[in-house]
Amino acid sequence: MEIREGTQLIERGTKKAIIEYVFTEYIIYVFQGSLSQFDIVIKYKKDGTRIRTPKHIHWVVDILMKIQGNEQLTKHYLKAIQKCWNSCTPLANNDFDTLKELIENGEADIDIQQYTLLNAYGEYDVEFLYVLMELLAVQEKTNRADAYMFGNIISELLEVDRDIFKIISTAGFGGRR
């Protein structure tokens, strides 16, 4: 992965990415958000496609595919991600250096390379997933100190008798109840 200063523009050229995480097939962009001072907006795109806003359902489907391919290693990966979620704190700044350090320190802590066998399953590689999930987690906690959705989904995925319908329902939650 390459980490670089943001160049991507959105909102008719009025908003420029703070940072970009460049992978073989994907780029993750982080922009200034509007919900709070240090809010971030996460976008990503695959080569040649339009920019998308990631949803929990995107990474959940990929993780379910990885579970089918190698359940033991995927659960180990999820426990490492869960540890990141539990220790994650709201952003005190959302500048380039802070966002770069967040990801670099996190990757070193979980030793992302030990999970590369999971790249054979699903759409996303584990490094891309880690960066996306770490950013989603910190985004949630920055905007709501009592955030729980990300953590709940990880816990549900780790259950022995996981309820796939509950997981998909939680991950696909769109603000309606």
Residue with tokens 């955030």: 147
- pLDDT bracket for residue 160 (50, 70, 90): confident
Which DSSP symbol is given to 120?
Answer: G
Q: Hey, where are the domains in the chain?
A: 2-171
pTM above 0.75, yes or no: yes
Q: Under DSSP, is residue 8 helix (H, G, I), strand (E, B) or coil? A: coil
End-to-end CA gap in the chain: 38
DSSP assignment letter at 145: T
Task: Kindly report the average pLDDT of the chain as a whole number.
Answer: 92
Q: CA gyration radius for the chain?
A: 16
Asked if the model's pLDDT at residue 176 lies above 50, the reply is: no
Calculate mean pLDDT across residues 91-99. Answer: 97
pLDDT value at position 96?
98
